[in-house]
Structure 1
Amino acid sequence: MKTNNVQVQRPVMLLSDDDSEVRRLVYDSLDRLGCEMEEPDNGEQALAAFRRIQPEIVLLDLAMTQADAFELCASLHGARGGERVSILAVAGRGDLEGVRRAIDAGATDFLIHPVDVEMLGLRLSCGRRSAQTRERLSRNEERNRGLIKGIPHLVLQISKEGTVLDFEAPRDFDLRQFPDGLRGRRIQDVFFADAPYVIVRCIERVIETAESQVLEHNVRIGNDIHVYETRILPNAEGEPTVVMRDVTERRKMEKELLQLAYHDPLTGLLNQHSMRERIARALELPGQHGRMTAILWVDIDHLKRVNATFGHELGDVLLQRVADRMLGCARRTDRKARLGSDQSIKAVARMGGDDFVVLLTEISHVKGAANLAKRLLDDLSQPFVLDRHEVYVTASIGIAVHPHDGAEAGTLLKNADSAMHHAKAEGRNNFQFYTSSGKTAALRSLTLEGDLRMALARRELFVEYQPEIDLKTGETVGLETLVRWDHPTLGLIPPLDFIPLAEETGLILPIGEWILSIACMQNAIWHKSGLEPIRVAVNLSGHQFRQRNLIKTIAKTLTNSRLDPQHLELEITESTLMENAASTIHTVKELKSMGVRLAVDDFGTGYSSLSYLRRFPLDVLKIDRSFIRDVTINADDAAITRAIIAMAHNLNLEVIAEGVENEQQLQFLQENNCDMAQGYYYCRPLTPAKLTKHLEKQSSGL
């Protein structure tokens, strides 16, 4: 509705006595201005009408007698929505006290009687704009309060004196100790006993400087300690707002992420990235004159064997126990070092797999690194109990020393790794310092590994056969299959150089399967060509023997080659047989049931328990060449060889002597009733073509 200069969307409420001159004049003025009016008769009706129509403007005659004008003014202002309404008090000329009381009760403006129409119109326009402004502010305040309620933080409005003016608490905030709420409470009471002083000081600082403050502190809630982040924000009135949020879970997650970023998840040790940083920082620090830093690269020997025997879960448990034992050794060493003002262990890390690194600083002599390596070897050689099994492992340790073996973390780690491989090449369970020659050997080993992975595909591997001779007839009765590697640039690689590498990398599995297939097919070809049947022996590595599909693989190979199983002999080392005897017996019996012959290879180098071996359904026992070499000049070797032959015969086992190289050795074996022999005295390993001629010659009786 629009009238003259006044636009009023809701009725104007007029509160005055029925017969008063104010009512008559104001009514006429409002009517001339075109305003719709609401005229309650008394205070009760006024409040009811106020709630019903929510007027923008109320005209209140302070001289009314039907109700107390000031109480009515206060009631209207305190009613729901009253803070958004403009209340114009109409006072008599000179009634300044009445105007003051009306304003204190909630009036927003006043008019002096007698009322001028034009002045009334202007005051109504101003009152309407003021009401609309207050309504907008009220809506914004409600919206902001709704947003604050939705924030899961404790929000406090603090007075300059340090008491709570207003607050919003999240649903899960425990207010049981404040049943009447927080308003009027001292700030010291609200923040409990954990961090009141520092928070109060920060609030004072905000009031003084008008600059925000942020702090983090612990709050005890029940039996738990929670981490809170508190932000104290200034405002123009000098009444800071305090926002507290529980960041316990966030800090816990950050800690976990930090742990994952810098630590190995399995062992809890530092990871490779973190260790590289530690080494780099250690090298940057100015050390005492003549002091050095050492890197010990520790590799756990034969962990793959543990995984294959007990499973990867127990293998992981073993790695955790190894980590604990290394940490214990490092801490003992560090305590002794501090007492003696010598070396300091800065970190232990797992680099991945079965590799660990120890950082040793402030050593005055390389002997300090050697002493730590010895202690690590001793500690790690003690048995580990896994699922009621005693497991023994050893370690190979490589040591690189700064500044002699490198100036940077990467170089030192690479050289320590190289020295570790040198320790492995020296028989494991020892430590080696880095040398340039060791580096050359390590590089060659890495090169060979890469080339060996391609050797099968490139057809660089081939087999030769060494005859096994019957010592009574002198005839070839068996053949041992031997693999050879013809490297395209290095020439023939000795088996001792690449077979251990194949076992360490797992390449022995495809290579071994290929050897088995080639040997069976070649033997079948000889049989088909009319040569007398002969058995061919193939060595099974420990890795192959532990494969679950071993029986299927051998059965498939025999089927594909159409070789009679009795003409295949499988050689297994005694250490492989004894490694996990319970499951091994089952596998051996399955192989025996297929009809193949079974031989114990390199007997005498491992457990050497003939009484235990009788539990296995074996056919042949091969005496290791180390006993045969000195059998004619070493009384102990001669006695051992005689005993092995005699005991093997008592167990109905045939005996083959390996490495026979001269007439004297042969004569000794014949005198002691050894069944068969092989070695350079009779024949070097032969290619299939040369061996074919050898067998043809034997078949013809020449």
Structure 2
Amino acid sequence: MSKAAASKKLILVCDDDKTHILLMSQTLKAEGYQVVEACDGEQALALYNEFSPDIVLLDVNMPKIDGYTVCQKIRHTQRGRDLPILMITGSDDHTSIEQAYTAGATDFLPKPIKWPLIKHRIKYMLRSFDIQKSLKDSQEELRYLAYFDPLTELPNRQYIKKQIQTFIGIAKRAEHKLAVMFIDIDSFKRINETLGFSYGDAVLKEVSNRLNTHFREGDIITRGSLVENELQVARLGGDEFTLLLNDCGEDASIVEIAKRINATLSEPITIDQYSLVVTASIGIAIYPFDGEDAETLLKNADAAMYNAKSSGKNGFKLHSHDLTDRCLNRLKLEEYMRESLEVDNFELFYQVKVDASTGTTKSAEALLRLHHEEFGLISPGEFIPVAEDTGLIVDLGYWVIRQACKQIVKWQNEFNIPVSISVNVSGKQVSQANFVKRLKHILLETNVDPSLLEIELTESIVMGNAEENIVRLNEIKSLGVKLSIDDFGTGYSSLNYLKRFPIDNLKIDRSFITDISSKEEDKAIVSAISALADALSLNIVVEGVETKEQLMSVREICKDSPTLIQGFYFARPEPADKCKTSFIKGFQI
């Protein structure tokens, strides 16, 4: 859909959260849509009757009338029977999803929202709506729209879940096995980011075509057909596909199909002047061993897929067979982490933050690293989830704070200038009853200037229990420590709460910076956050700046707000003894 076409489309955005409305409106207007805004359910219905929008974005929790009721009332109107309605909420549990669809929602979107992708969800909903309007006299076509993905013409999640459940009944009676394959395209995000979403869509269509034409061609479900077949392919959403294999035989047969999928999908795809090679990670769950209902089989196949992806991509894993190895490796890593806390195998690296106006450097972020005597550095992506799940994150977090405080004192003595360090703190740690007491003890023990320590909490942690966190954050602030909200823009902060939090900095998530020099929606989002920070007298930290173009865009957009830049353009994370030049000389802006 072009911006000219989008400008003719009117979107009704309904949300009582002013921050959410601001970011949503900026994103949509940057794409050329017209937007009307409602802050409660009554106003939403009034604006719907007044403007007859083309699509409604509806928050669940609103004053006066909740989103579910508003959705039902719209559906009871003549025009609203088929109108696209996207329900948005912070809850993604099964009950909330079912309630949204029961109320009449076209689709469901949980917070936190990935803002750069919202326009594509709306575009395809509007496209589907236009198709539905033109074909609504045809019962078969309406059935198609309900059960098939409009981009690939494959069955969708709703249909395949029903089919899995149906085939489970067949498999149970016939006493044979059933396999569910969860297929995820490796590094698909890079295609969208590098070449654009139109190329990404073309890749998804080609993947769909290959899955359809290379595997039991006569048995695969076709457009408009709802016949039960032995093998079915579906698109679950995004770059995720599913293969359902009824009466799949022995594991060797399933493995052979997985190998054929990997081989088929890795053949080059030619789009315009580009030749692309895509690979896939495949997870396999087998009935009855890995689950006895559709939801469990899909979940376990998804888990197996992530194991395949973490094992190097372009491969496959059987859920049952892989689970044992994964548990053993996890136990070994947990044991090694406990030992490492005792013998200092952990180390802090530091990534400097550069003043966007002057190029001076007086602050850095502490980033945890783990050394292994055989394998070298272990990625935080591997050990942090284990630390979170086992509770080790609490002791590890206090170790990081203590080491950061010691480093602040060391740098101040060495450079004779105050250097501040920011530390990421886990939600499990900050929610402990004695967190403030232990933090105070570390500050006194290290004799550090509290104003040079900055605690970073993610937006989702801060908003998880907002009222309780207001009290906790004020207790931390009373120690003289600075506070920062990390990954800002990816969650769902309420402006009402944001004004009450005693924070000093907003850290803009890197996902908005990657394409900021070329994408208007990213510029609009960063501009909105900058204006919000300016209104609340907050500083901004922009992470993920890697190119000159990104730097210039950020400087132009945030020129009226105190801004620090963090990213590979200036410096990568490095050990403390290698940061000296950055603090003494700064950088040329």
TM-score, scaled to structure 1: 0.41
Q: Which has the larger radius of gyration?
A: 1
TM-score by length of 2: 0.48
